């Protein structure tokens, strides 16, 4: 009511400042335990999520994923913070060359060498949402032979992306490399971490090497690193980790984003020894890949070891099934 | 021992740098798949024998024939074709895990029983329809039954899953409800004129049908503003507390 009568933006801001100071005093008097001004400021910066009728959620007791009216994931809501969150699928097209020198190298089994600096986008849509006492699922379907389920299990502190990709279409005579991007508003300053070959988690910085001054001829491939189990980024508050179920190439090309390669089909050899293109010719149409990734959010700097989560993903229970035709429930 | 050796041998082959990185020729990749799949399938014989020894030590019950299923392609010939089956799992980790288990089945209603005999929460969820141009799996399964398994370190647990007779109970319940409603209306016909006037009325009757259980009673009454209403009386004591 105070603000609505103000004409200029200066008056607005003056009034807001007065209100802020007033609120601060009231809070101080009531003994509210804010440690300092910085904490107050952070609180006021916190994005406020207003639930609207055209939006919906999939959730468990630990977090929520907010979906807009088209079913696209827009936010991840944790008990104490809200993050922008999007899952996007793209593909890179592979370079074709005569392999006489590095700049003429084809993208192949050994070499990832996209011909553009921006991936091609894919259109996809949410086709269904399922909610129940054990799992909540969101089904995504793309136009270029891609499908995925986003799952939130009861009690689990992650969400899972189960993807089915392929066969990759090559009727346009172009090799393609499909990727997924998890886009958030984390400020990681170009730094990300990968567990190279499962040996040791190493800090990576975009367009840099710790040992020498680097000029990258290939800005995309030059920032790709092996991910055996996990890749993560973090800012001062939050750490976002992606666990993979197999070795994949990964990077963080833009702020707050993690990119992982899902599937490749290429039409040219890269002349490093395999002697044939990475083109699945045996069944005539190419292969379909199914896999899953788990996305974890933790407090930055929290002494939380993801090793257990990683091992739990790789060493899942060994499940065997037996027909119990001759066995009654009581006997069992 | 010889099937275990086969698996050891296959894992040895898979240490080759081309197998690790995927830089082998295509026909070699398929040969690796053949070697690994065959070794894993044969080695599951050991798990089959071990589970039977642990779960049925005196052999007083029929020996179960455990099969490894291709859960990665939502396919399991045993669970798809069986009315009741046992799912036994081993946690290879040295700590407690709670793991979601998804077993491919055909559509129906299922009860999942934990090792202590209690029925546990489960959920039947449809397997997504094939996406245009993506070749799909060959399997009868249309759904997956999902439940959480709480497993001890290096522990084995066995779950009993039973397919219930197809919605018989639900059908009977709804039928009972409508029979009862008909009788009830028939008795009252001379006294009260009841007409389902709108979809809203119909919806409220459907809601009542969903809540109704065989043996429940009805109470009908006029509300203070003169409108007619009715309720399902689950508990006879409630009758005394209703404001007529």
Torsion of CA A173, A178, A184, A187, to 10 degrees: -80
What does the pLDDT read at residue B196?
42
Torsion, CA A302, CA A303, CA A306, CA A307, rounded to 10: 170
Question: Mean pLDDT in chain B?
Answer: 80
Chain A residues closer than 8 Å to B162 by CB: 329
For residue B193, pLDDT over 90 is answered with no
Helix (DSSP H) and strand (DSSP E) numbers for chain A: 3, 19
B122 contacts in chain A (CB < 8 Å)? 134
| pLDDT-wise least confident of A195-199, B7-11, B188-192 | B188-192
Non-local CB neighbours of B100 within 8 Å, separated by 6+ positions: A134, A135, A153, A156, B146, B147, B148, B149
What residues of chain A lie within 8 A of the CB of B47, using their CB?
A: 318, 320
User: What confidence category does residue B22 fall into, taking pLDDT thresholds of 50, 70 and 90?
Assistant: confident
Name the residue of chain B whose CA is nearest to A316's CA.
B91
Residues of B with Cβ-Cβ distance to A127 under 8 angstroms: 128
Instruction: List the Cα angle A136/A142/A144 in 5-degree steps.
Output: 150
**DSSP states of A132-198 as a string?**
-SSEEEEEEEETTTEEEEEEEETT-SEEEEEEEE-PPP-TTS--EEEEEEEEE----TTEEEEEETT
Digit-coded pLDDT (tens) for A71-85: 889 999 999 899 999
The count of CB pairs under 8 A between chains A and B is 162
Specify the residue for token string 């097209």. Answer: A93
Q: Looking at beta carbons, which residues of chain B come within 8 Å of A320?
A: 44, 47-48, 51, 66-69, 87-89
Residue A332 forms contact with B (CB below 8 Å): yes
pLDDT (tens digit, 9 = 90+) per residue, A129-166?
898 999 999 999 988 999 999 999 998 999 999 999 98
Q: Are residues A288 and B98, on separate chains, in Cβ contact within 8 Å? A: no
The Cα of B197 is separated from the nearest Cα of chain A by a number of Å equal to 30
The pLDDT assigned to A87 comes to 94
Quick one: closest CA in A to B81, which residue?
A323
Q: Is A281 exposed, middle or buried (0-12, 13-18, 19+ CB in 10 A)?
A: exposed
Q: pLDDT tens digit string along B140-164?
A: 999 999 999 999 999 999 999 999 8
Are A319 and B135 in contact (CB < 8 Å)?
no
Beta carbons of A313 and A294 less than 8 angstroms apart: yes
pLDDT the model gives residue B184: 54
Q: What are phi and psi of B160, to 5 degrees?
A: -105, 125
Contact A320 B68 (CB under 8 A): yes
With contacts defined as CB-CB under 8 Å, which chain A residues touch B53? none
Instruction: Give the number of other CB atoms < 10 A from CB of residue A146.
Output: 23
Complex ipTM: 0.79
Please give the DSSP secondary-structure letter assigned to residue A117. Answer: S
From A158's Cα to the closest Cα of chain B, the distance in A is 12
Could you tell me how many residues make up chain B?
Answer: 244
For residue A327, give the chain B residue with the closest CA.
Answer: B62
Of A57, A46, A41, A224, whose CA–CA distance to A152 is shortest? A57
A contacts of B121 (beta carbons < 8 Å)? 133-134
Can you give the pLDDT at residue B178? 53
Name the residue facing B131 among A134, A141, A273 (closest C-beta). A141
**Closest chain B residue to A156 measured between Cα atoms?**
B98
CA dihedral over A260, A265, A266, A269, signed as positive or negative: positive
């Amino acid at each position: 009511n105070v603000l609505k009568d103000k004409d200029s933006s200066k008056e607005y801001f003056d009034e807001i400042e007065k209100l802020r100071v007033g609120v601060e005093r009231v809070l101080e008097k009531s003994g509210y335990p804010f440690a300092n001004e910085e904490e107050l400021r952070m609180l006021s910066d916190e994005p406020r999520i207003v639930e609207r009728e055209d939006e919906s959620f999939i959730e468990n007791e630990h977090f929520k994923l907010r979906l807009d009216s088209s079913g696209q994931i827009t936010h991840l809501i944790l008990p104490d913070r809200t993050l922008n969150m999007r899952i996007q699928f793209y593909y890179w097209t592979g370079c074709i060359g005569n392999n006489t020198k590095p700049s003429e190298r084809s993208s192949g089994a050994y070499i990832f060498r996209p011909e553009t600096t921006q991936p091609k986008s894919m259109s996809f849509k949410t086709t269904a949402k399922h909610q129940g006492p054990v799992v909540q699922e969101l089904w995504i379907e793309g136009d270029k032979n891609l499908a995925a389920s986003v799952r939130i299990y009861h009690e689990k502190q992650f969400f899972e992306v189960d993807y089915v990709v392929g066969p990759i279409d090559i009727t346009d005579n172009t090799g393609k490399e499909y990727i997924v991007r998890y886009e958030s508003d984390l400020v990681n300053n170009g730094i990300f971490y990968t567990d190279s070959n499962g040996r040791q988690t190493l800090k990576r910085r975009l367009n840099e090497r710790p040992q020498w001054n680097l000029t990258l001829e290939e800005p995309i491939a030059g920032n790709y690193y092996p991910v055996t189990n996990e890749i993560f980024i973090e800012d001062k508050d939050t750490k976002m980790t992606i666990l993979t179920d197999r070795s994949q190439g990964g990077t963080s090309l833009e702020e707050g984003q993690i990119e992982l390669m899902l599937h490749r089909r290429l039409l040219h050899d890269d002349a490093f020894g395999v002697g044939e293109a990475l083109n699945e010719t045996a069944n005539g149409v190419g292969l379909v890949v199914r896999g899953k990734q788990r996305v974890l959010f933790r407090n930055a700097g929290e002494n939380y070891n993801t090793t257990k989560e990683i091992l739990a993903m790789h060493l899942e229970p060994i499940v065997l099934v037996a027909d119990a035709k001759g066995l009654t429930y009581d006997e069992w | 021992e010889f099937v275990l050796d086969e698996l050891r041998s296959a894992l040895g082959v898979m240490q080759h740098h081309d197998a690790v990185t995927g830089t082998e020729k295509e026909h070699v990749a398929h040969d690796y798949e053949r070697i690994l799949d065959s070794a894993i399938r044969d080695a599951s014989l050991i798990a089959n024998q071990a589970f039977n020894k642990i779960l049925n030590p005196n052999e007083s019950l029929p020996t179960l024939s455990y099969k490894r299923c291709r859960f990665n392609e939502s396919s399991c010939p045993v669970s798809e074709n069986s009315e009741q089956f046992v799912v036994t799992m081993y946690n290879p980790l040295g700590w407690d895990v709670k793991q979601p288990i998804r077993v491919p089945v055909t559509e129906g209603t299922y009860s999942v029983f934990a090792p202590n005999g209690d029925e546990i929460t489960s959920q039947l969820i449809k397997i997504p329809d094939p996406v245009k141009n993506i070749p799909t799996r060959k399997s009868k399964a249309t759904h997956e039954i999902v439940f959480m398994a709480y497993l001890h370190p290096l522990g084995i647990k066995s779950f009993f899953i039973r397919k219930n007779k197809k919605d018989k109970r639900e059908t009977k319940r709804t039928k009972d409800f409508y029979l009862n409603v008909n009788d009830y209306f028939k008795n009252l016909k001379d006294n009260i004129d009841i007409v389902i006037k709108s979809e809203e009325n119909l919806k409220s009757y459907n809601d009542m049908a969903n809540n109704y259980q065989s043996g429940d009673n009805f109470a009908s009454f006029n509300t203070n503003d003169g409108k007619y209403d009715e309720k399902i009386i689950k508990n006879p004591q409630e009758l005394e507390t209703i404001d007529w």
